[in-house]
Structure 1
């Protein structure tokens, strides 16, 4: 804890709260579309920044750094490689995603396959995303305990209030702009720390390589090829099917803006992932006694960089985790509004058709209340069911294997059917759980098993269901 860190933290919080308050004005948020999708008006760099901040959270600054600290920089490249492969594929998908203009992934599934698929998709999305959002509370609380006299529990409560406020106040408009500012801060902080450590502590790249553990110099570090694949695929699949990503691409001004924003996302990811890999592996040399989770944060808090720079790194890490948390709260509120309350054919939707102005006000109110409700539920999960956090390691697999193939098929494969989508999601979910419980997960990750099953079942069942049967299910076949 230092006065400098507290000053930097106070400046950051003031800026974030100011941005959120500005976008909370009635003129900025007129209906649920403004709240959840930012009125489909986000410009290129803001959209690119919010895509980056959604990807980079505690899973990268803490979890990814842990992986690199433990397994080495080359293995770290494979760990994050799925991210860059997914960003490239998203670039090719961006026009179709923007033109589809769905508010949520279950809405896409419901429109393409039918109501049963939308229900299953809603359950999977909410279960995974509430837990992932809750994990951001604990990450933020931990960093606050490093910067301030607060305990981790107190920091987690403050984190919940801050993250909830950013999401509740101005919806995606405030989240996107705070994401953009936080992304710029984390790029600046990590990049500056990397330059300082390589110049002051290693005397250049040669000194870093010479001191690196020889076990970390092989292509996959201390891991085998199947183990590396098990880390590559979850990030790849999650980003391709992540509702956050699809919502943000849908919130672009137009398809061209969405594509340019993905290019910004790719460059920004390089500027963040590269320093994370090099800093975390540097920590294994300079601070080997550090806990793996503290690989990067320990360099900032342990006096390995100047005090001001350490403060910037800590606050940048906090900033990026806060914005990731607000993104997951916001996207869950979209599921509540569009997949539960205002679902097609429901009472609320019929009332909305009769009184559109009242419905728009209700959408905003319910969106804000659902953000607060999801935040409280996430906090309960953290406090009373801490073992659920262990499930988040395969929550990415559960989402990626069960949802992503079905989403991609909905956008690009006309013969995909409701029966195939439902069978695929159930089979992938069951395979993930079964392998986690009974399989050798240390040697072969569940995603390596669940993904092929998901794809094969989707294709086989879809081809086996006659076209006429799909039409009876009410599925739109283009």
Structure 2
């Protein structure tokens, strides 16, 4: 067994051990769902960062950057704004209402029928999005580990089951934070080595530019996408991430609002710096080896050829960590949706906390079986589902969340029409334009933009045709009377000095991170602008 393989398995065992260890903290259902709100700044930063640095970051988008040039990765830069919106807009509102899952809000605001529709869409989106990443990564890592694809999928499902079954949200958040170590190695150590060995920024700004000026175009050298496509992708990432359950609900485990704000600041700063350095390194490798096939294995090549085996092994472990962090989050929320949002709310009696915990774990087992079956059979339909699964949250969940937060007169009819109609319109548009190529969207814009507007239209028309019940109008007034920071104010009610201290430290962190960001990105922009 090679050094890289040994390190890969060591890290995997470390994650398993951590998942088993934190299971001791699971005493009640609230521990399982939201860590009983004990998440620190370090843990919430780690889990937000891990959710951001997904398998797509290290595989799919890295391959696009390697093939097309650095500017193409700017399409993901607006996702930091989506992460900010998910934590500070969506997440804080859910926190203030004491929600443990996103469908909790639908039940509270609109009733059981809306919650059922929303939960079903969520499960389809989560399972589809997670499975495609899991299967694609299984193909990549099977060659590295020496295991067959089937053995790799089974291994991942077992690990996910350990996280979801034993440790719940504790296991997911703690292991996410541990996984960030491998992300730092891959992005801030291995990638800079690639830049240095290729000849520095001069090679990627001059040599490769002279080879093909389109490498530095917004549309990419190969894709040559129109500006509408680029703008559409930017909008897609912002809308999708604002309503993504695995981001918005991360804040529900935090101790208070100060933890949420500090974690968001750290996550945005670290993720943008790490992504920038990583993708510049990925493109620099093109000067060293322009024939990596398939291109999404560029980090694998970097880890095997540019650094010593120990750092290389950690880099490969970073790919595995990105897969696990994304999959474990999706896995656990799909299980929550089954157990808490569908089953528990459908029965007519009050469950004990022990029964809730048992149901939550049964939900994880059911999701594990579903993912195992689909992962091993690799049906073509799953790839289609995965292609539009992420956008489902933008077209079916985002309009409803916005209306639920801000519009008193939104009705059940409007909400259900919006969720179903928005999702259906996007699936049809995606299939007609991307899969079947029957026509093209104007200016190359993504179908998600049209479907989001259509979803808002259905929401408005449905609410006008059948007005909201008086009960839910009063519910809106009740919900909006709760300040977003009420829980935090209550927590520090007898510690005014500590409240002021936390406020000032959060403000200082925001200012300091802004200065660091201006210096870092300003330097890169100047260097690239002068040389391209």
Confirm or deny a common fold (TM above 0.5).
yes
Shift of 1:47: 0.6
Shift of 1:179: 0.1
* 1:381 equivalent among 355, 374, 377: 374
Q: Does the aligned pair in 1 maintain the 2:190–2:306 contact within 8 Å?
A: no
In 2, Cα distance between equivalents of 1:70 and 1:394: 23
Shift of 1:342: 1.3
> How many correspondences in the alignment?
461
Does 2:299 correspond to 1:296? yes
* 1:230 equivalent among 232, 235, 244: 232
Q: What is the correspondence of 1:67-78 to structure 2 with a 5 Å cutoff? A: 67-77=64-74
Shift of 1:327: 0.9
Q: What is the correspondence of 1:456-475 to structure 2 with a 5 Å cutoff? A: 456-466=457-467, 469-471=468-470
Could you say what secondary structure the match of 2:469 adopts?
helix
In 2, Cα distance between equivalents of 1:52 and 1:412: 29
Counterpart in the other structure of 1:5: 4
Superposition TM-score, scaled by structure 1 size: 0.90
Counterpart in the other structure of 2:249: 247
Counterpart in the other structure of 2:429: 435
- Over 3 Å counting, the alpha-carbon distance change for 1:432 and 1:336 in structure 2 is same
Q: What is the correspondence of 1:273-284 to structure 2 with a 5 Å cutoff? A: 273-284=275-286
In 1, Cα distance between equivalents of 2:474 and 2:162: 39
Shift of 1:328: 0.9
Q: What do the CA deviations read for 1:81-128 (whole angstroms, capped 9, x no partner)? A: 231121333354143232122122222112112222111101100001
- Over 3 Å counting, the alpha-carbon distance change for 1:91 and 1:57 in structure 2 is closer
Could you say what secondary structure the match of 2:301 adopts?
helix
Counterpart in the other structure of 1:454: 455
Counterpart in the other structure of 2:522: none
Q: Does the aligned pair in 1 maintain the 2:183–2:318 contact within 8 Å?
A: yes
Q: What is the correspondence of 1:149-168 to structure 2 with a 5 Å cutoff? A: 149-168=146-165
Q: What runs of 5+ residues in structure 2 fail to find an aligned partner?
A: 434-438, 478-532
In 1, Cα distance between equivalents of 2:416 and 2:332: 26
Shift >4 Å, 4+ stretches: 472-475
Q: What do the CA deviations read for 1:206-228 (whole angstroms, capped 9, x no partner)? A: 12212323112123432112211
In 1, Cα distance between equivalents of 2:267 and 2:291: 34
Superposition TM-score, scaled by structure 2 size: 0.81
Counterpart in the other structure of 2:270: 268
Shift of 1:268: 2.6
Q: What do the CA deviations read for 1:56-104 (whole angstroms, capped 9, x no partner)? A: 2222221221332343211211x21231121333354143232122122
Q: What do the CA deviations read for 1:250-298 (whole angstroms, capped 9, x no partner)? A: 1111122111111122123113321342233234433322213213223
In 1, Cα distance between equivalents of 2:474 and 2:69: 48
Q: What do the CA deviations read for 1:302-355 (whole angstroms, capped 9, x no partner)? A: x13333222111011111211211111111111112211211x622xx232xxx
* 1:84 equivalent among 75, 80, 83: 80
RMSD: 2.2
In 1, Cα distance between equivalents of 2:365 and 2:52: 22
In 2, Cα distance between equivalents of 1:372 and 1:275: 39
Q: What is the correspondence of 1:306-385 to structure 2 with a 5 Å cutoff? A: 306-343=308-345, 346-347=347-348, 350-352=349-351, 359-384=352-377, 385=379
- Over 3 Å counting, the alpha-carbon distance change for 1:413 and 1:92 in structure 2 is farther
- Over 3 Å counting, the alpha-carbon distance change for 1:167 and 1:143 in structure 2 is farther
Q: Does the aligned pair in 2 maintain the 1:117–1:422 contact within 8 Å?
A: yes
Could you say what secondary structure the match of 1:337 adopts?
helix
In 1, Cα distance between equivalents of 2:285 and 2:303: 10
